[in-house]
Amino acid sequence: MSRRAWAVTVRYRASLSLVGTVLRYLSIPLLVPLLVSLYYAESVVPFVVAVLLTAGLGTALERLDPDPDLGAREGLLMVAFTWFAVAVVGSVPYLVEAHGVPGLMAPIHPDSTLGNPANALFEAMSGFTTTGATVLGDISFDSHTRGVMLWRQLTQWLGGMGIVVLAVAILPELSVGGAQLMDAEAPGPGIEKFTPRIARTARILWAAYMGFTAIEIGLLYGLHVVGPPLGMPGLAPNMDLYNAVAHGLTTMPTGGFSPEARSIEAFSAAVQWVVIPFMVVAGTNFALFWHALAGDRTRLFEDQEWRAFLGVLGVLGAIVSAVLFTGSGFVETAPSGGTFETAYLTDVAAAVGASVEPSIRHALFQVVSIVTTTGYANTDFNAWSPVLKYALLFGMFVGGSAGSTGGGVKVVRWYIVLKTVRRELFTTSHPAAVRPVRLNGRPLDEDGIRGVFAFTALYLVLFFLGTLVLFLDAARVGQGLSVLATMSAVAATLGNVGPGFGAVGPMGSYLGFSAPAKLLMVVLMWIGRLEIIPVLACLTPEFWRR
């Protein structure tokens, strides 16, 4: 097939044009950190540059096709492109902060690790995909402006419910092909269109998402405000408005970025208890909330995926609580190159062991944070014993629910896999029997089941292969990594979880990797957020043929 025939079969200009529209609209949320910087009397140049660049690039792309019309393949391409494009332009404020603009502004923080383009792209992709893996060297306002730090939080919030879902909600030109686009972007095997018009569904999803975010911000800031008058100054002393907003913006998208270097450990037990249920909500299928608000609460409480999701949280939480409570849940000596000191280990072990509330809180918070793929830490779980780290690694593969903002394989897929395996055991001993696999009472079609298995297998194959490649690269550059650290780095980026173990632990960072390794992980985060298949489909030769 000639090159020319290639070029005309997939109308990539139509895809790029719509990417342009999304970019043009992206300049609006960029005004939020601009205003924050203005409020804190910081330079607004990083955001002015980003707004101009994003709007300009968007307008230019839109000109490629004034009346874009998307088929199946153009839709896949548009979704895959969109997510890469937002990460690229989203990294601009980080680069400008570090390098300044010649003749206009001197570098604000010339030592920022995000001055390196690979790092800036990593941080932006990690943000939009709600991964929450960081390459910030020093997470503090000494090294970054409050505007940039808020942008970092905001990227997660924008990516959480889905940039394409947001586009479908607000762009009238997507009211026709929108369902298919949302399918390509949405977490889980197929989204539920719970209203006849897809734009309305998208708007409801975003409204619920905004509502939960507002409630969490209100509760967090409320604790801060009511503490002193109630005579409880320790209730949430450092959860000021900035922090309440910053964490509200990263809980609901299961993002996990925090402007605090110690993540949620920096806050009180009360704050931690408030965050837990919001992570659970973020990991729940949002369609179920819609049904519950519409009066049908049994849909939520009898949903098989939700029950399995809560079951996993309960069982894993109980196991981890029990091990922490016995006092054997901590490593005996601080490992060299770890992210904590022996004194820290002794303190945490003493506070948690044999104490009911701390052991349940540490266990439940971390299990919920990892399984929902939020990635917050209320303790440096690098200090935990290997068995508990393995339990968390295990949890990374479970993931959130379909239709939630969580990543990973997703509970419903495991549920379908296990029910189908069960059916296979039955047909082995009853070869003549025909039995459909049911979910919430409805039989699933075999094509859908096959898709679930293909995704799950591909996910695990990419995990194992990605770990091998990352490990070989680490050996090449002489970066001393353990098997667990390397596996967790791949599981945490592909699953959009964020922190792993060892050097990439919750108080560590991904800075130590080589630039090629970081770019590999950028790709893992990207394809992980879009659930692999849509992106990889664009990379096959058959995609480009008639």
Q: Give the integer Cα–Cα distance in Å for 448 and 456.
A: 12
Q: Are 66 and 27 in contact (CB under 8 A)?
A: no
User: Segment 526-545, which members bind its own copies (CB under 8 A)?
Assistant: 533-534, 536-538, 540, 542-543
The torsion defined by the Cα of 527, 533, 539 and 545, in degrees rounded to 10, comes to -150
| Interface with its own copies (CB under 8 A), residue from 172, 431, 441, 442 | 431
Residue 483 binds to its own copies (criterion: CB under 8 A): yes
Residue 498 binds to K ion (criterion: CB under 5 A): yes
Binding part of the chain for K ion, among 82-90, 254-262, 500-508, 521-529 by CB under 5 A, reads 254-262
Q: How far is the CB of 108 from its own copies (least distance, A)?
A: 39
The listed partner (K ion, its own copies, none) that binds 461, CB under 5 to 8 Å by sort, is its own copies
Q: Which residue has the tokens 């009397």?
A: 41
Task: Phi first, then psi: give them for residue 422, nearest 5 degrees.
Answer: -60, -45
Three-state SS at 439? strand
The listed partner (its own copies, K ion, none) that binds 273, CB under 5 to 8 Å by sort, is none
| Interface with its own copies (CB under 8 A), residue from 333, 356, 425, 441 | 425
Q: How far is the CB of 545 from its own copies (least distance, A)?
A: 9
Residue 60 binds to its own copies (criterion: CB under 8 A): no
Residue 514 binds to its own copies (criterion: CB under 8 A): no
Give the number of residues in contact with K ion, rule: CB under 5 A. Answer: 5
Number of helices (H) and strands (E), helices first, in the chain?
25, 2
Q: How far is the CB of 129 from K ion (least distance, A)?
A: 8
Binding part of the chain for its own copies, among 57-65, 111-119, 132-140, 425-433 by CB under 8 A, reads 425-433
Q: How far is the CB of 336 from its own copies (least distance, A)?
A: 11
User: Segment 442-471, which members bind its own copies (CB under 8 A)?
Assistant: 446, 449-451, 453-458, 460-461, 464, 467-468, 471
User: Segment 385-414, which members bind its own copies (CB under 8 A)?
Assistant: 385-387, 389-391, 393-394, 397
Q: How far is the CB of 370 from K ion (least distance, A)?
A: 9
On the 0-12 / 13-18 / 19+ scale of CB atoms within 10 A, 25 is middle
Residue 256 binds to K ion (criterion: CB under 5 A): yes
| Interface with K ion (CB under 5 A), residue from 29, 132, 147, 508 | 132
Residues forming beta bridges with residue 384, ordered by sequence position:
330
Q: Which residue has the tokens 């905004």?
A: 210
Residue 426 binds to its own copies (criterion: CB under 8 A): yes
Three-state SS at 330? strand
Q: How far is the CB of 433 from its own copies (least distance, A)?
A: 9
Which of 306, 240, 283 shows the shortest CA–CA distance to 370? Answer: 283
Q: Which residue has the tokens 């701390």?
A: 358
Residue 88 binds to its own copies (criterion: CB under 8 A): no
| Interface with its own copies (CB under 8 A), residue from 311, 422, 438, 443 | 422
Binding part of the chain for its own copies, among 124-132, 292-300, 374-382, 473-481 by CB under 8 A, reads 473-481
Residue 8 binds to its own copies (criterion: CB under 8 A): no
Give the number of residues in contact with its own copies, rule: CB under 8 A. Answer: 61
How long is the chain?
546
Residue 304 binds to its own copies (criterion: CB under 8 A): no
Residue 336 binds to its own copies (criterion: CB under 8 A): no
CB atoms under 10 Å from CB of 195, counted, come to 13
CB atoms under 10 Å from CB of 5, counted, come to 11
Contacts 24+ apart (CB under 8 A), 420-426: 420/449, 420/452, 420/453
Q: Give the integer Cα–Cα distance in Å for 394 and 317.
A: 12
Q: Give the integer Cα–Cα distance in Å for 493 and 337.
A: 21
| Interface with its own copies (CB under 8 A), residue from 23, 279, 474, 491 | 474
Q: Give the integer Cα–Cα distance in Å for 222 and 361.
A: 21
Comparing CB distances to its own copies, the nearer of 209 and 471 is: 471
Cα Rg of the chain, angstroms: 23
Residue 1 binds to its own copies (criterion: CB under 8 A): no
CA 265 distance to own-chain centroid: 20
Q: What angle do CA 25, 28, 33 make, to 5 degrees?
A: 140
Which of 165, 167, 163 shows the shortest CA–CA distance to 155? Answer: 163
| Interface with K ion (CB under 5 A), residue from 375, 495, 508, 534 | 375
CB neighbour burial string for 109-148, b if at least 16 within 10 angstroms, e if fewer: beebbbbbebbbbbbbbbbbbbbbbbbbeebeeebbbbbb
Comparing CB distances to its own copies, the nearer of 41 and 425 is: 425
CB atoms under 10 Å from CB of 419, counted, come to 16
| Interface with its own copies (CB under 8 A), residue from 170, 293, 475, 515 | 475
Q: Which two tokens stand for residue 406?
A: 């969580």
Q: Which residue has the tokens 């929450």?
A: 132
From residue 330 to residue 369, the character string flagging contacts with K ion as x (rule: CB under 5 A) and all else as - is: ----------------------------------------
Comparing CB distances to K ion, the nearer of 256 and 358 is: 256
The listed partner (its own copies, K ion, none) that binds 425, CB under 5 to 8 Å by sort, is its own copies
Q: Which two tokens stand for residue 60?
A: 């230019």
Q: Give the integer Cα–Cα distance in Å for 202 and 185.
A: 12
Binding residues vs its own copies (CB under 8 A): 72-73, 76, 319, 323, 328, 385-387, 389-391, 393-394, 397, 417-418, 420-422, 424-426, 428-431, 446, 449-451, 453-458, 460-461, 464, 467-468, 471-472, 474-475, 478, 481-484, 486-487, 533-534, 536-538, 540, 542-543
Binding residues vs K ion (CB under 5 A): 132, 256, 373, 375, 498
